[in-house]
Structure 1
Amino acid sequence: MLVFDGIRIIHIIAGFLALFTFWIPVVTRKGGGVHRGIGWVYTISMVVVSISAFYMGVYRIFFDSISDQTVIAFSWFLIFIGLLSGSTAWYGIRVLHFKRRKHPHRVIIDLLIPLFLLLGGIGMVIYGHLIDFPLLAWFPLVGIFLGASHLWYWLRIPKMKKQWWIEHLVGMLSCSIATITAFTVFGAPQLIDVESVHPVLWFIPTIIIVPMIIAFTCYYTKKFK
């Protein structure tokens, strides 16, 4: 448990750091020093959140003898949050690295990660419905959509010169869904000293950020065209 508690503290620190630094790159000049510097702070924080979330979820499910069904369900959600945050952060960085590509992308790791997100989302939705757990039954639909859209982007030739710009923005905004949702599910109840918040609140970050992603995508697609 000592290792678990240490990882949990690191996870909380990285999560709060990501939560407070995400909006700075969004509102600052794109490509500037602040955008790049704080952007890397956010990205590294999300990598730490992803790895630590995966570890804690696996520990709770397979190595914690006192875990009941509810704890196991939340642990699977934690694992999925780790997969979602890690894959979207990876995607947001990798599209910058290959922004000048003129052919379908065939780097295996860039295809496997969204494939895992897609298949993991499908598995979580099925599991969530089987145990009647709304958070797992519906939230992973975001991962299914994002995994499919990432594969779609990599396997096709970009139609616009700055398509990578839009994909980078979408990747990082999608990553923030994982950050804020995890805080709503795990962090906020501890701060206000309640066992759990109403399930409807779990989906508010998705309800708010997904329209933002659509709006930004439409705006910049029109602008770049």
Structure 2
Amino acid sequence: MQLFESLVVAHVIAGATGLIAFWVPIAARKGGRVHRRWGRIACYGFMVAGALAIAMALLSLYGPEQRIPTFTDRALFEGLFGWMMLYLGLLTIGFADYGLAMVRHSRDREALRRPRYQVPMAAVVVSAVWCGVYGYGVGDPLMVLVAAIGVVAMMLQQRFIWRASPARTDYVGEHFRALLGMGISAYTAFLSVGLIRAIPEHVFNPMIWAGPSVVGVSLILYFTIQTGSRKRG
């Protein structure tokens, strides 16, 4: 129990760092020093939080203690606090890693085709598929929906990586979409898994699950339209 609680504290600190820093590069001038510095802080904070979420998910699945004993449906508990948290941790790390890679390898898509980047994306897909299958098995459509988002996101990333001749500036849109996706997955994990530990009666509240996606997708559309306008101009 002490190990798990220590992981929770570290996860909260790392996650809070990412959640706060996440909004600075969105508001700051794109490509400027503040944007780059706080973007890295947000990414590394979320990646650490994602790794800790994976560790907590494994403890929830295979640890000796029964977590949240008031949660009587243990199969659903394993789905939400085990397999889905494992998947969301991998998804958050995958988005952050890909978003940073878009800047690091903006002119070298061959690097993105190597195992260094392909393996993390494959891990996201595998965990998403299992999350969806498990969610379907326990009758939880929300798990299926969240899993589908990750699969579609990885397919879109692969489409860019393997596309024959993208425009020179297309990596910018990929960078923004990946890091906004990182924010969506992290906020979804916080609200649907972290916050629910304090208020378990709202575990099936669709507003909690849909909120981060609505905000995140709106920002993705905004930046996509804004980028398209600049190209036309």
Fold-level similarity (TM above 0.5): yes
Alignment of 1:79-90 (within 5 A): 79-90=86-97
Summarize the Cα distance change of 1:103–1:45 in structure 2 as closer, same or farther, 3 Å threshold.
Answer: closer
Summarize the Cα distance change of 1:178–1:31 in structure 2 as closer, same or farther, 3 Å threshold.
Answer: same
Query: Residue in 2 aligned with 1:168?
Result: 175
Which AA in structure 2 matches 1:195?
A: P
8 Å contact 1:83–1:117 — kept in the other structure? yes
Cα separation, 2, equivalents of 1:222 and 1:135: 35
Of 206, 219, 225, the residue aligned with 2:213 is: 206
Please state whether the residue corresponding to 1:140 is helix, strand or coil.
helix
- CA shift for structure 1 position 17: 1.5
Please state whether the residue corresponding to 1:61 is helix, strand or coil.
helix
Query: Residue in 2 aligned with 1:54?
Result: 54
Cα separation, 2, equivalents of 1:189 and 1:140: 19
Cα separation, 1, equivalents of 2:225 and 2:121: 23
Alignment of 1:94-113 (within 5 A): 94-101=101-108, 105-113=112-120
Of 142, 151, 156, the residue aligned with 1:144 is: 151
Cα separation, 2, equivalents of 1:196 and 1:143: 26
Of 114, 124, 140, the residue aligned with 1:117 is: 124
Structure 1 gaps, min length 5: none
Cα separation, 1, equivalents of 2:85 and 2:165: 33
- CA shift for structure 1 position 222: 4.2
8 Å contact 2:105–2:111 — kept in the other structure? no
8 Å contact 2:135–2:144 — kept in the other structure? yes
Question: In terms of mean alpha carbon deviation, does 152-161 or 8-17 score higher?
Answer: 152-161
Which AA in structure 2 matches 1:106?
A: R
Percent identity (aligned): 22
Cα separation, 2, equivalents of 1:45 and 1:59: 21
Find out whether 1:195 has 2:191 as its counterpart: no
Summarize the Cα distance change of 1:39–1:102 in structure 2 as closer, same or farther, 3 Å threshold.
Answer: closer
- CA shift for structure 1 position 189: 4.2
Summarize the Cα distance change of 1:115–1:214 in structure 2 as closer, same or farther, 3 Å threshold.
Answer: farther
Find out whether 1:17 has 2:17 as its counterpart: yes
Please state whether the residue corresponding to 1:139 is helix, strand or coil.
helix
- CA shift for structure 1 position 153: 1.3
- CA shift for structure 1 position 70: 3.0
Question: In terms of mean alpha carbon deviation, does 149-158 or 13-22 score higher?
Answer: 149-158
Runs of 4+ residues deviating >4 angstroms: 102-105
Equivalent residue pairs, number:
223
Please state whether the residue corresponding to 2:60 is helix, strand or coil.
helix
8 Å contact 2:79–2:131 — kept in the other structure? no
Question: In terms of mean alpha carbon deviation, does 148-157 or 114-123 score higher?
Answer: 114-123
Q: Deviations over 1:30-87 (max 9, x none)?
A: 2222111111111110111110000000111012352522321122111011011000
Cα separation, 2, equivalents of 1:203 and 1:222: 28
Report the aligned-residue RMSD: 2.0
Query: Residue in 2 aligned with 1:26?
Result: 26
